[in-house]
């Protein structure tokens, strides 16, 4: 499964200290992979100073850690955060099960995916992290905040939903495009990715840049249809999660975009209504993507919440954190 992939760890399980401290993994070089007690292997990369508060970035359905592009991760790290992006199970360079699914045959759900994130924090020796999830990743992040609140310093749910189908369902054309399987031919698959992206893109969408990202996806790891379907099954298997979300106690920010036709802003508004004390931020022009043109508004929308939580947690007179 990992033939040709160079994997490294130090004795403490962390990425090699000889790498640039801003970026301890690489798209083009060695990347760390952790084997969890569950036998799931998780690929991750980190940016910034490990002494800074950690931010854990979760990607969406059918995506990879590459959606959180290196430039975006570095901008977040430059605000004073240790940024970790990773591939969910059945994505990227993490474990991708064969068509029969996980051993034992039990379908996994959002709780299992949240447990993967906790396992990654354990591997990194981290007590907690600011957990930032986009789309499917937002659902995983929400469940992590419900089931593992002590591991979530704060929650940022982006372009995501509570599972209540009355709020924020995709536009008709968007839903129809989503349900069409990707072609087997790599070039045709990239063309479909690009056509779909235009339906829910930010106003800053750039075809050439998006095409490069989609090609990188295919070169790095092409997700089998059965893996995509399992992730989608995990997203819907827990149904309406509003009762559980109402128990969240960690500081929460919910972010939606006015141009998102895949998860409409109403879903974000509902999420913020359900989670006690949550704040809602609606970004003008942002769609269901991480277009570089959106980074100037995405970085503060994410990082300012995390830093506010960190400042509030510092005891009076303690300036060392």
C-alpha–C-alpha distance, residues 155 and 277, integer Å: 12
Flag whether 16 is in a domain.
no
- Buried b / exposed e over 76-103, threshold 16 CB at 10 Å, is bbebebbbbbbbbbbbbbbbbbeeebbe
Backbone dihedral region of 4: left (phi > 0), alpha (psi from -120 to 50 degrees) or beta? left
Q: Is the pLDDT of residue 4 over 90?
A: no
Using pLDDT thresholds of 50, 70 and 90, give the confidence band for residue 29.
low
Flag whether 44 is in a domain.
yes
pTM higher than 0.75, yes or no? yes
Flag whether 71 is in a domain.
yes
Interval 14-25: pLDDT, tens = 333 222 323 334
Interval 111-158: pLDDT, tens = 999 999 999 999 999 999 999 999 999 999 999 999 999 999 999 999
C-alpha–C-alpha distance, residues 203 and 291, integer Å: 9
Interval 286-301: pLDDT, tens = 999 999 999 999 999 9
Using pLDDT thresholds of 50, 70 and 90, give the confidence band for residue 186.
confident
**What's the total number of domains in the chain?**
1
Flag whether 274 is in a domain.
yes
Flag whether 280 is in a domain.
yes
- Determine the structural domain holding residue 209 and report its residue range: 33-313
Interval 209-260: pLDDT, tens = 999 999 999 899 988 989 999 999 999 999 999 999 999 999 999 999 999 9
Flag whether 150 is in a domain.
yes
The CATH number covering residue 257 comes to 3.40.50.1820
Flag whether 278 is in a domain.
yes
Flag whether 216 is in a domain.
yes
Q: Is the pLDDT of residue 13 over 80?
A: no
């Amino acid at each position: 499964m990992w033939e040709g992939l160079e994997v490294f760890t130090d004795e403490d399980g962390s990425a090699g200290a000889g790498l640039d401290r801003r970026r301890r993994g690489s798209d083009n070089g060695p990347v760390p992979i952790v084997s969890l007690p569950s036998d799931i292997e998780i690929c991750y990369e980190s940016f910034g100073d490990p002494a800074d508060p950690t931010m854990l970035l979760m990607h969406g359905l059918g995506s990879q850690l590459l959606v959180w592009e290196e430039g975006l991760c570095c901008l977040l790290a430059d605000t004073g955060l240790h940024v970790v992006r990773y591939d969910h199970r059945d994505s990227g360079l993490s474990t991708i099960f064969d068509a029969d699914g996980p051993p034992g045959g039990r379908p996994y759900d959002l709780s299992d995916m949240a447990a993967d994130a906790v396992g990654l924090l354990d591997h990194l020796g981290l007590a907690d992290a600011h957990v930032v999830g986009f789309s499917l990743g937002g659902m995983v992040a929400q469940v992590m905040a419900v089931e593992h609140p002590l591991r979530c310093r704060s929650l940022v749910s982006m372009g995501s939903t509570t599972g209540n189908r009355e709020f924020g369902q995709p536009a008709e054309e968007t839903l129809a495009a989503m349900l069409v399987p990707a072609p087997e031919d790599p070039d045709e698959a990239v063309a479909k990715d690009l056509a779909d992206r235009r339906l829910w893109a930010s106003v800053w969408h750039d075809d050439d840049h998006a095409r490069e990202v989609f090609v990188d996806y295919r070169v790095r790891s092409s997700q089998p249809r059965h893996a995509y379907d399992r992730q989608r099954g995990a997203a819907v298997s827990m149904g309406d999660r509003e009762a559980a979300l109402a128990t969240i106690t960690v500081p929460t920010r919910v972010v939606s975009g006015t141009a998102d036709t895949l998860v409409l802003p109403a879903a974000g508004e509902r999420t913020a209504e359900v989670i006690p004390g949550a704040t809602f931020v609606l970004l003008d022009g942002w769609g269901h993507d991480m277009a570089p043109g959106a980074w100037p508004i995405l970085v503060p929308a994410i990082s300012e919440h995390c830093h506010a939580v960190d400042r509030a947690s510092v005891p009076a007179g303690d300036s060392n954190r």
